[in-house]
Amino acid sequence: MPASLLGRLFGLCATRTSPRAANDGYNAGFVENRPVEFVTIPLLALHLLAMNIASAGPLVGAWLGRRERAGSGVNQRLGLRLIQRSMAGLAVGALSGGVILMLPHEGMRAALSRFPSDAYWYAGAELVFSAACMAGALWLMRGDRPAGGAAIGLATVTATNLLYHFPPLMAVLGELAADSNWSTAETIDRQTLLELWKRPEIIFLWAHFAVASFAVAAIAAVWPTSALAADAEGEAELDKSIRRLGVVGLSATIVQLPIGVCLLATDSAAARDAMLGQNLLASLAFAASLLTAFALMQALGAMAWGEGPRAVRRTGWLLIAVVVLMAATLRTSRDAKTRGGDVASPPRDGNSIHLNAGQAT
Ligand code: HEM
């Protein structure tokens, strides 16, 4: 793809503005841009769900494929289907992310223009590499072959590659788009990016996404359950797999509780206040997301307890509801942040990075 087209796609053609100027433009745009926000929230939810499956799906798929000894073939089919879904997830995630980038968000364009163009080439190469690893794992598990060391190795490489590079990069992008003074570095080069990745709000969002990926992949492996088990032996095997995947999903969701508290504690004061009562939309979305997350835990418990396909159906719909509500919380609380708190704090002069915890590079 020619560089100019790539640049246009990622907003690199946006005029280079100083962080301060970009922020001023974005604040006005973000607040006035409510209709765009209502499109962005479901798109972001789709993006997150798709990338969750793409990230942990190959690993969970290979684990399922490895469990297939002389069985009915159910685990093998579940594993293969999940790796296929992971590849589809990567494509849908890239597409929905691309559409979000093209929406008229001035702050996002300004944030994108602060990354050097080779960052986009590296990101593209990482995506192609991960897709190739998934295709390799799929090929190694074709037919009735159980997942061996090579397939599990490829699944591990693609999962770690995606989970290491993208969530912190995206979190930095999201923070800069909402508040350009979040970092005063004009150019976010590799060194600056690695420094920004150490900030607590990025680390906890990163952990939140990584752990969520395992819960989402476990549910995506069995939802919907139709046409998986043909005979009685297959039914029994499927029930066992549903129970195991319920345990994986429930464990991951329980681990999210302390991570979620840390995420809330390390967010900006304005965003936190917005979620805790100062902004109606953010507070409603946050409260609803927590209630739905508890219902999801209950449904995952029912899966783990052996309730079978009925519990899986409930879990699938609740998962979608949780992700949409969390995406709404993220966007509406950032909206409040740009209107109130962080923007008021002046950036430091020069190219140093403005750190919440009082550190600077
Ligand atoms: C072509 C590739 C991709 C594009 C174009 C893309 C684009 C985007 C965009 C525009 C956002 C919204 C930022 C915001 O306003 O808050 C976003 C958020 C996010 N993306 Fe991606 N993305 C891509 C790949 C990935 C991958 C591979 C992962 C994970 C493995 C990922 C994980 C995330 C996460 C965790 C967020 C939420 C970050 C936040 O807002 O704090 N993305 N992405």
- pLDDT, tens digit, 9 for 90 and up, residues 68-112: 655 668 888 899 999 999 999 999 999 999 999 999 888 899 999
CA of 125 to the centre of ligand 1 (A): 16
- The answer on pLDDT for 355 being more than 70 is no
What value does the mean pLDDT take over residues 144-162? 93
Confidence at 1, pLDDT banded by 50, 70, 90: very low
- The answer on pLDDT for 30 being more than 80 is no
Q: Is 52 in the pocket of ligand 1 (CB under 6 A)?
A: no
Q: Is 14 in the pocket of ligand 1 (CB under 6 A)?
A: no
Q: Which atom of ligand 1 is nearest to the CA of 90?
A: 27
What value does the mean pLDDT take over residues 200-217? 97
Top mutation candidate among 10, 26, 47 for ligand 1, by most atoms within 8 Å of CB = 47
Where is average pLDDT lowest: 1-15, 50-64, 167-181, 216-230?
1-15
Q: Is 26 in the pocket of ligand 1 (CB under 6 A)?
A: no
Q: Is 171 in the pocket of ligand 1 (CB under 6 A)?
A: yes
Residue type, 154: L
What value does the mean pLDDT take over residues 321-343? 77
What value does the mean pLDDT take over residues 217-229? 82
Confidence at 37, pLDDT banded by 50, 70, 90: confident
Confidence at 244, pLDDT banded by 50, 70, 90: very high
Q: In the chain, what are the domains? A: 26-342 (1.20.1630.10)
Q: Is 101 in the pocket of ligand 1 (CB under 6 A)?
A: yes
Q: Which atom of ligand 1 is nearest to the CA of 334?
A: 16
- The answer on pLDDT for 18 being more than 90 is no
Contact 204, 266 (CB under 8 A): yes
Where is average pLDDT lowest: 87-96, 135-144, 209-218, 221-230?
221-230
- The answer on pLDDT for 135 being more than 80 is yes
Q: What is the pLDDT of residue 119?
A: 92
Confidence at 145, pLDDT banded by 50, 70, 90: confident
Specify the pTM: 0.85
Q: Is 11 in the pocket of ligand 1 (CB under 6 A)?
A: no
Give the C-alpha separation, 15 to 52, whole Å: 33
Q: What is the pLDDT of residue 142?
A: 87
Q: Is 89 in the pocket of ligand 1 (CB under 6 A)?
A: no
CA-closest residue to ligand 1 atom 32: 167
Q: How confident is the prediction for the chain on average, in pLDDT?
A: 84
**Better-predicted residue by pLDDT, 6 or 286:** 286
- The answer on pLDDT for 24 being more than 80 is no
**In the chain, pLDDT over 90 holds for what percent of residues?**
65
CA of 124 to the centre of ligand 1 (A): 13
What value does the mean pLDDT take over residues 144-157? 92
Q: What is the pLDDT of residue 282?
A: 94
Q: Is 47 in the pocket of ligand 1 (CB under 6 A)?
A: yes
- The answer on pLDDT for 6 being more than 50 is no
What value does the mean pLDDT take over residues 8-29? 37
CA-closest residue to ligand 1 atom 39: 171
**Better-predicted residue by pLDDT, 229 or 123:** 123
Q: Is 166 in the pocket of ligand 1 (CB under 6 A)?
A: yes
Q: Which atom of ligand 1 is nearest to the CA of 124?
A: 1
